[in-house]
Amino acid sequence: MDSESKNLSQATNCQPSTINAFLTHLASERRLSPHTVSSYQRDLIEARKVLGSQPWDTLSVHDIRSLAASLHRKGKSGKTIQRMLSTLRTFFRYLMREGLARDNPAMDIRAPKSGKRLPKALDADQVSHLLDAGTHSSEPLALRDQAMMELLYACGLRLAELLSLNLDSIDLRDGQLLVTGKGNKTRQLPVGKPALTAVRRWLKVRPLLIKSSEQTALFISKNGRRLSPSSVQQRLKRHALERGLDDHLHPHKLRHSFATHLLESSGDLRAVQELLGHADLATTQVYTHLDFQHLAQVYDGAHPRAQRRKDEDE
């Protein structure tokens, strides 16, 4: 075997362990959620498919730029490519820290721009229809789902935050919820009366599903285990369909709805930033959009000139 082939073989053999060490670093040192760690893993596997077996420490800016161009030709969105580049920047920072790379070839590469897509939110009537329809059930799983949906909307929780809640995370007397968010950061959130009522109803029947007295998860499956992300997504989709809402309803849409409705009512961007657990205010600013038709209706109904034009047209 020549030296070049030998180097490629060694690189191929060590790359999985290098990636695994990086993923362990994300989970144990940075305490990122399993969902986030899986996203990093998928990006690195996809990058390796495009880049081939070339060792990480020999990759250049040209290689990373070619990777971005290749993904763009395959129809990947600017947002997807930007996420890939962000993953690679983080990965190479880790390799440099461990002495496995000399520089970060992804540092100055930017993805093609793509249109900014605003989060979709339910309107207030849709939220009321979704949540009010389940207040009369006494079936344990329905009571559990009701409590989960109420908390997702009442507190603007991420799915991972909801699933990480334990029995001692919620203070029913004071109406407060202690949430552990991204980067293992905690925040204290107020909880409204409907959500508190739903959680109390769920806690009364929770013992019926308990298999072990050591189970501390607030929300458990019918088998007594902490719920998985897919279980929550499927249950929420099922309830939405049963109540006549679109089949694309997912937990994060309730978080979007929380943020949108709160901002429309209060206009307090900083407060919403704190409630959502955003480290950067710019992340929260995406929720400041208002539907153009709504703005046009307000304008036509309130602006003197608009009213005069309407009168003249009649």
String of DSSP letters for 12-30: HHHHHHHHHHHHHIIIIIS
Q: In this structure, what token pair is assigned to residue 286?
A: 């995406």
Pull the structure tokens for residue 169: 């995370």
The yes-or-no answer on residue 74 being catalytic is no
**Cα 52 to Cα 7, 18, 38, 48, 257, distances in angstroms:** 13, 15, 21, 6, 42
Whether residue 25 lies in the annotated active site: no
Active site residue 182: yes
- From the candidates 79, 83, 182, 237, which is the catalytic residue? 182
Q: Which of 76, 201, 206, 255 is catalytic?
A: 255
Q: List Cα–Cα distances, 28 to 23, 24, 31, 33, 141, in angstroms.
A: 9, 6, 5, 10, 33
Question: Of 65, 226, 237, 252, which residue is the catalytic one?
Answer: 252
Task: Given the residues 278, 303, 305, 310, select the one marked as catalytic.
Answer: 278
Picking from 50, 41, 36, the residue whose alpha carbon sits closest to that of residue 22 is 41
Q: Could you confirm whether 6 is annotated as catalytic?
A: no
Catalytic residue among 158, 206, 239, 261: 158
Q: How far apart are CA 176 and CA 170, in angstroms?
A: 6
Instruction: State how far the Cα of 40 lies from the Cα of 42, in Å rounded to an integer.
Output: 6
Please tell me which residue in 40, 94, 153, 287 is annotated as part of the active site: 287
Q: Is position 206 annotated as part of the catalytic site? A: no
Q: What angle do CA 150, 123, 303 make, to 5 degrees?
A: 140
Just list the catalytic residues.
158, 182, 252, 255, 278, 287
